[in-house]
Structure formats: C-alpha cells, structure tokens
Amino acid sequence: MQRGPYLVGVAGGSGSGKTTLVRALRAGLPEGSICVVSQDDYYLPREEQAVDANGKVNFDLPTAVDLDALARDLRTLAAGEVLYRKEYTFNQAGREGGLVELRPAPVIIVEGLFVLHHVPLRELFDLRVFVDTSEQEQLRRRLLRDARDRGYGEEEVLYQWHQHVLPAYRSYLLPYRHLCDLHVVNEQGFERATSVLCDHLRHAAGVPSALADQRS
C-alpha cells in the first residue's frame, strides 16, 4: 500500500529560526523529496488587518492570516495536486511578489507562527515541531532582520515587539508548545537536531537514504 506524504508543522516565535531550520532540512533531503509551505504567503491584505489602540496595523494575530485557506491547500497538496500561491512581500513598497509553485512531495513542511493555534491545520500534521528560542534572542534577531530585510527602524521594531509580537507569542504559541512532538532549541544553532530530523523524515516518508548523497 502506497503511503501518503508525511506532513510536518514547524512553529516558533518570530526570530526563533523556523525558516532557517526548514532551509536546513530542505538542504539535507534529496531533491524533490520535500515541499515547503510558508504561512507568510497566506497573510490577508493590509486593508483587512486589525489595528491596535494607536491605529497601528497588527500583523501578529491569527486573524491576520487565512489559516483556513492554508489548511485547504495542505489537504490539496497531500492529495497530489500542484498549487500556485502569490508570495507575500511584507508590504515592502515597490516589490511585487511572484508566484510560488507548491508541488506534492513525500515530505510537506508548513512553517509559521500560528500553525498550531489553528485546530483544522494542527490536526493534519504527522509531526509537530516547536523551535525554542529565548525571548531576548528572538528580539535581537528580529532587530537585525527587520532592519536588513524590511527596512524597519529600531523604534518601529521595538513598538511591534512589545505591543504585538510578544503578546501574540505568549497567547497563540506558548499555549500549544506542549502539543509538539519535538522541541528544537536554537540559541546558538541546531546542527545536531537537523541531522536527527533529516534521518527521521527519510524514514517516516520512505525516502531512500542513498538518495541523500546524490544531491549536489
């Protein structure tokens, strides 16, 4: 009997290293054996986002993302169909997101802030992974990333952190931490965890280990 794809949810706070971990897993598995779906590509348009008491858009709420659409697309991928999704560009002026092709694969990984909070999505996963990083380290990385990649000033980043990001982390991520099968601590790196996870995914998804050495 042919097995279906192995579905993995990767959650963690902003700056915890979710995307870095997923990239490492993609690099450690054979070409074509993994499909990565980013929750970020399901953000609703800015005009549909909630605002806080100061009139600032709050992107760090589960309602900011079309999680129902993400769950539907994951079921479609698991059924063997190809999908196309417009890339989210974090509201960067002058940058238009292209189409992201999502192709079925033995391993399908979904990464994002709220993939555990949304019950219909959470229940689809065969494996749930939580990337653990201290709040202080998350903030340090966010300050660096948002200045480098998104052009945000320190004042803006700190406002978002204290008013939006940290409350969301404590309300919509930490309560589901205990539901995860695996916790990956990422204070200084996670090379050993990546190796263990790659071995597990090869076995769980039925990917021949010998193929891993063929990836250039």
% of the chain at pLDDT higher than 70: 91
Q: Is residue 116 part of a domain?
A: yes
Length of the chain: 216
pLDDT value of position 96 = 62
pTM confidence score: 0.89
10 Å Cβ neighbour count for 105?
Answer: 19
Which residue pairs, CB below 8 angstroms and at least 24 apart, start in 103-106?
103/32, 103/35, 104/5, 104/35, 104/77, 104/78, 104/79, 104/80, 105/5, 105/32, 105/33, 105/34, 105/35, 106/5, 106/6, 106/33, 106/34, 106/205, 106/206, 106/207
Range of the domain at 49: 6-129+138-205
Q: Is residue 212 part of a domain?
A: no
Q: What angle do CA 81, 87, 91 make, to 5 degrees?
A: 155
Q: Please report, for the domain that includes residue 106, its CATH number.
A: 3.40.50.300
Q: pLDDT at residue 215 above 50?
A: no
Q: Is residue 213 part of a domain?
A: no
Q: pLDDT at residue 199 above 70?
A: yes
Per-residue pLDDT band at 5 (split at 50, 70, 90): very high
Both tokens of residue 9? 């949810």
pLDDT tens sequence across 113-150: 999 999 999 999 999 999 999 999 999 999 998 888 87
pLDDT value of position 207 = 86
Average pLDDT, integer, range 19-36: 94
Q: Is residue 192 part of a domain?
A: yes
Query: In the chain, how many domains are there?
Result: 1
pLDDT value of position 208 = 74
Q: Is residue 167 part of a domain?
A: yes
Q: Is residue 1 part of a domain?
A: no
Residue 107 main-chain phi, psi, to 5 deg: -120, 125
Q: Is residue 214 part of a domain?
A: no
Q: Pick the range with the lowest mean pLDDT from 79-83, 117-121, 143-147, 162-166.
A: 143-147
Q: Is residue 210 part of a domain?
A: no
Q: If you average pLDDT over every residue of the chain, what do you get?
A: 90
pLDDT value of position 212 = 42
